[in-house]
Amino acid sequence: MIDVIRFALIGAASGAVIALLGLGVNVVYRTTRVVNFSHAAIAITAAYQYKEFIGSVPWPVALILAIAVGMGIGLLMEVCVVRPLRHASFLTKTISTIGVLLVLQAVLMIRYGYNAVVVPSWLPTTLLNLGPIPVGLDRVLAFGIALVLAAALYWFYSKTRFGIATTAASGSERSLAALGTISPRTVSLVNWLIAGGIAAFAGVMLAPMTSLTPVLALSLIVPILSAALLGNFSSFWLTFLGGTAIGILQAELSVFTSLPGLQETVPFLIIVVLLAARGRGLPQRGEDAERLPVIGTGRIPVLPVVILGVVLLFLLQWGLPVRWVQAVAVGLIAAVILLSVVVVTGYAGQLSLASYALAGVAALVAAHLVANAGWPFLAAGLAGVVATVPVGFLFGLPAVRTRGTNLAIVTLGLAVSFQALILNNPSISNGIDGLKVGQPELFGLNISNAFEPRRYAIMVLIVFVALAIIVLNLRRSGAGRQMIAVRGNERAAASLGISVPRTKLYAFIVSALIAGVGGVLLAFTNSVVTLANPGGQFDATYSLNAIAQSAVGGLGFVSGTIIGTVTVPGAVVDTLLRFITSGAWFNLIGGLLLLITVIAAPSGVAAQIRVPLARLVRVLKLVKDPKPYLFAAEEQAVQPVQTGRLEVRDLSISFSGNKVLDRVNLDVVGGTVLGVIGPNGAGKSTLVDAITGFNRPTGSIALDGRDLTRLGSGVRSLAGLGRSFQSLELFEDLSVFDNLVVAADADAPWHTALFAGVKPGRAELTDAARAAARTLGLHDRINAMPADLSYGERRLLAIARSLASRPKILLLDEPAAGLGAAERHELARLIRVIAEEWNIGVLIIEHDVELVLGVSDSVLALDFGRTIAHGSPEEIRHNDHVVAAYLGTGDTDDSQSGDVRDNKEEVRA
């Protein structure tokens, strides 16, 4: 028992320092919404500086100087990286901090090498007896200092004017500017300085507890970010408690369990479970969809690819010296793994940091089957690749409930756990001796990289080209469009019947399969497969390098995987530079290149060069221009839907005890329009969300007698409930054509996704999608991107997209917001067309009362979530409750309403 307490105290001290580092992560997240992956690297850099300073100055001066170094790095990051990227997506921001991490690590590697450095403690290390328990005084003091600092930060950010301003604005420059007195620039700068200082101080505290190595920063990332995550990147106390708990758990596990790797894994897995419990299947209303990096078209420029392929084949077989052949192979293998990043992060928008772990799964299985079961290379390799399917599924599961940076941390944590528990376990991976796989053969030919490097490289080339074609096909397939829809806007995707969890898991599994192929190719490059560290070929942190390489090339581009290999160690550029530099310098160049790319060209080099390249290819007549989609001249007849009836009974919902909907009852019948009005905050959008499955109300919702109450939003959409959003939520990465196709395709049978990479199929507009485009006047804009449409056209596209999914009932959330008088009049006419010609039941919520009264067959008025009136437009117009709650006067402006009231007659005529 005494030992348990003693190790709890020891763990609490290191945990408190981890927490301190987590607190620094919170500080910058509050200001800039950036999760800083380089925070630990700043700490380690400052700790190295401290070690240098104490050689020449007293320790207090050294400590101050080290803190100044940390603050300096924070300042540089703010000025050179964070500020230029302040409008970028979370993806770009996160990747930029990974860039800073790689740069700092490379600098430390150049300066100090791999050898561990011991740093003396500046705190007294005498043994203290707490009753019968001996503990180092330095540990107790470290815990106390961390606790005081956490309290100081809490005080500073909740009590001082500066801190309150930072907290209130919570990362929004506009809110900060609105607060007046302090400029957003100052707030950002000061917070980055504070964060840098805290990192440095924590680094100097941590250094004596563990010896310093440049890679220490990498092993600290997961615990630090986990602590910050536990505090939701904002609560200092929860972060402090979380970090301390992680430290205690790790100390206890390291002493009282014999399974290696458990101490890295268990605390992290607890966090995953907590996150999953806290997470949500879909983002909430108001969580802005971000502009993510550009994605390629997926078109295959056949002739240029064939020419390049043949030239490379020739060079590999005859033209290049062996050294260069091997360098090309190294680059192509890395490019295969980067293809997996294109699928999961580029197409599906899920920032996964586990590509090398998944590659490692395939390598482990294949190497075992060859080394211990005597399987031939091909069969073992295929088995290894298949083995990645369940692991890819497992790694994808958190994506169902988390997203963004949280997901990045979880996937990196899973990768680190996999390495600690499996790859580093000598009984599984045979430790640093590795697994002997000898010389692989393919169809009777020796293809060993050592003896037949040309054959090995040609095999790698063929595999890369095949996978690249599959990934390009996937981009053009229905499954690819669904991934891009989910990446662009999960709520909109769900509203069309796309299963968001299934799409994410699909992306993870496809990506795992591709990474698996890369893993097998990488593993069999040598006759011994080394999986355990040091020297493991699949170190979890290589996935950070992979995301960096991918971002340099272009996350959404297959061509980006080749461009990204310029920063791959051992590939062509590195081989070239080895004549003048060492490997450490190459890593530094790679990190700097990443930073320059994300700032100057956030979508990567491939996105930057695609326009001139396409022009060149066209001038040389190497490809045909794609034909734009043209509508047939004849009018598309609308096929009316089967009549639907939506019945909503006793719908209620509360948020934090505040009743937002209170026993609302309504019916919407095919061919009619129900208007819902109410003042701001009456609960109108919440009503649409509740009916379509975006929140969890009580009561019941049935469509044509089928109870939908317990079903998710995607299933409700497939059952016939369509909706639009107040904020439109278009898929900005997809053309108008593809926005409609993706809506019509949502119920495609799942097995089409199985062969999407081989048989992508042709995107076709369904009859309903064509009719929707015609009805809403978008047929002439069908090849445009949403960003090129006028505001009014964008609103119409949102409705057309819902119509393309053939709903029986369509719920329109403020469709006229921001439209001019003429556009509103046209919209009112279209709503009657949708009801009467398409036979759809329409529920419209609108602030424009006259529009609602003019277009609806009956109207429901809400106030504070309660129905205050329900009747014909005329009854509502003169209802006393409505007049009191909403209209303000008994007389509405009849001159304005006359126009829209005539719509029913106009359409009937």
Ligand X SMILES: Nc1ncnc2c1ncn2[C@@H]1O[C@H](COP(=O)(O)OP(=O)(O)OP(=O)(O)O)[C@@H](O)[C@H]1O
Q: What is the 3-state secondary structure (H, E, C) of 513-548?
A: HHHHHHHHHHHCCCCEECCCCCCCCCCCCHHHHHHH
3 state SS of 689? helix
Residue 532 token pair: 């355990």
CB of 860 to ligand X, least distance (A): 12
Beta-carbon count within 10 A of 655 CB: 10
* DSSP state at residue 779: G
Shortest separation between residue 816's beta carbon and ligand X, angstroms:
12
Residue 705, burial from CB neighbour count under 10 angstroms (0-12, 13-18, 19+): exposed
What is the distance, to the nearest Å, from the Cα of residue 696 to the centroid of all Cα atoms in its chain? 25
Pick between residue 451 and residue 655 the one whose CB is nearest to ligand X. 655
Q: In angstroms, give the least distance from the CB of 813 to ligand X.
A: 8
Smallest CA-to-CA distance from 468 within 588, 338, 320 is with 338
Angle at 531 between CA 528 and CA 534, to 5 degrees: 105
Nearer to ligand X by Cβ, of 17 and 691: the residue is 691
Closest CB 280 distance from ligand X, rounded Å: 10
Token code pair at residue 567: 């920063």
Residues 228 and 26: beta-carbon distance below 8 Å: yes
Cβ proximity to ligand X, 126 vs 656, nearer residue: 656
Closer to ligand X by Cβ: residue 144 or 681: 681
Rounded to the nearest whole angstrom, what is the least distance from the CB of residue 680 to ligand X in the complex? 4
- Of 36 and 686, the one with the shorter C-beta distance to ligand X is 686
Least gap, CB of 507 to ligand X (angstroms): 27
Nearer residue to ligand X within complex by CB, 473 or 724:
724
- Choose between 728 and 778: whose C-beta lies nearer to ligand X: 728
235 membership: H or E segment, kind and range? none
Burial (CB count within 10 angstroms: exposed 0-12, middle 13-18, buried 19+), residue 630: exposed
Closer of 370 and 816 to ligand X (Cβ):
816
- From the CB of 825, what's the least distance to ligand X, in Å? 22
Q: CA-to-CA distance for 214 and 112, rounded, in angstroms?
A: 8
For ligand X, give the closer residue by CB, 280 or 615.
Answer: 280
Q: In degrees rounded to 5, what are phi and psi of residue 135?
A: -140, 145
Nearest approach in angstroms of CB 427 to ligand X is 50
Minimum CB separation from ligand X for residue 865, in Å? 7
Q: For ligand X, give the closer residue by CB, 204 or 876.
A: 876
Residues 6+ apart with CB under 8 A from 180: none
Residues that bind ligand X (CB under 6 A): 284, 655, 660, 678, 680-686
**Rounded CA separation 187/189 (Å):** 6
Closest contact distance (angstroms) between CB of 668 and ligand X is: 18
* DSSP-derived 3-state class of residue 888: coil
Closest approach of Cβ 815 to ligand X, in Å? Answer: 13
Closer of 675 and 683 to ligand X (Cβ): 683
End-to-end CA distance of the chain: 88
In this complex, which beta carbon is closest to ligand X, that of residue 275 or of residue 862? 862
Q: Which residues of 300-325 are buried (b: 16+ CB within 10 A; e: fewer)?
A: bbeeebeeeeeebbebbeeebeeebb
| Residue partners of 905: CB distance under 8 A and separation at least 6 | none
Give the nearer residue to ligand X in terms of CB position, either 49 or 724: 724
Nearer to ligand X, 555 or 661 (CB): 661
Q: Choose between 81 and 819: whose C-beta lies nearer to ligand X.
A: 819
Cβ 653 to ligand X shortest distance, Å: 8
**Nearest Cα to Cα of residue 702 among 673, 666, 736:** 666
Per the CB < 8 A criterion, the answer to whether 866 and 665 are in contact is: no
CA dihedral of 277, 283, 285, 289, whole degrees rounded to 10: 160
Distance CA(457)–CA(451), nearest Å, equals 12
Q: Name the strand (E) or helix (H) holding 127.
A: strand 127-130
Q: How far apart are CA 232 and CA 79, in angstroms?
A: 26
Please state, in angstroms and as integers, the Cα–Cα distance from residue 358 to each residue in 18, 107, 565, 602, 755, following that order: 28, 29, 19, 26, 21
CB of 864 to ligand X, least distance (A): 9
Residue type, 161: R
Query: Considering beta carbons, is residue 223 or 678 the nearer one to ligand X?
Result: 678
What is the C-alpha R_g of the chain?
A: 30
CB of 683 to ligand X, least distance (A): 4
**Measured from the CB of residue 200, what is the shortest distance to ligand X in angstroms?**
39
Least separation in angstroms between residue 684's CB and ligand X is 4
| CA distances, 517 to each of 1, 360, 392, 467, 762 (Å) | 49, 10, 13, 9, 28
Nearest to ligand X of 181, 680 (CB atom): 680
Residues 6+ apart with CB under 8 A from 606: 296, 553, 554, 557, 559, 560, 563
- Tell the smallest beta-carbon distance from residue 862 to ligand X (Å): 7
Q: From the CB of 328, what's the least distance to ligand X, in Å?
A: 53
The whole-angstrom separation of Cα 368 and Cα 360 is 12
Looking at the Cβ atoms of 186 and 284, the one nearer to ligand X is 284
Residue 277, Cβ neighbours under 10 Å: how many?
8
H/E run at residue 564: none
**Do the beta carbons of residue 648 and residue 667 sit within 8 Å?**
yes
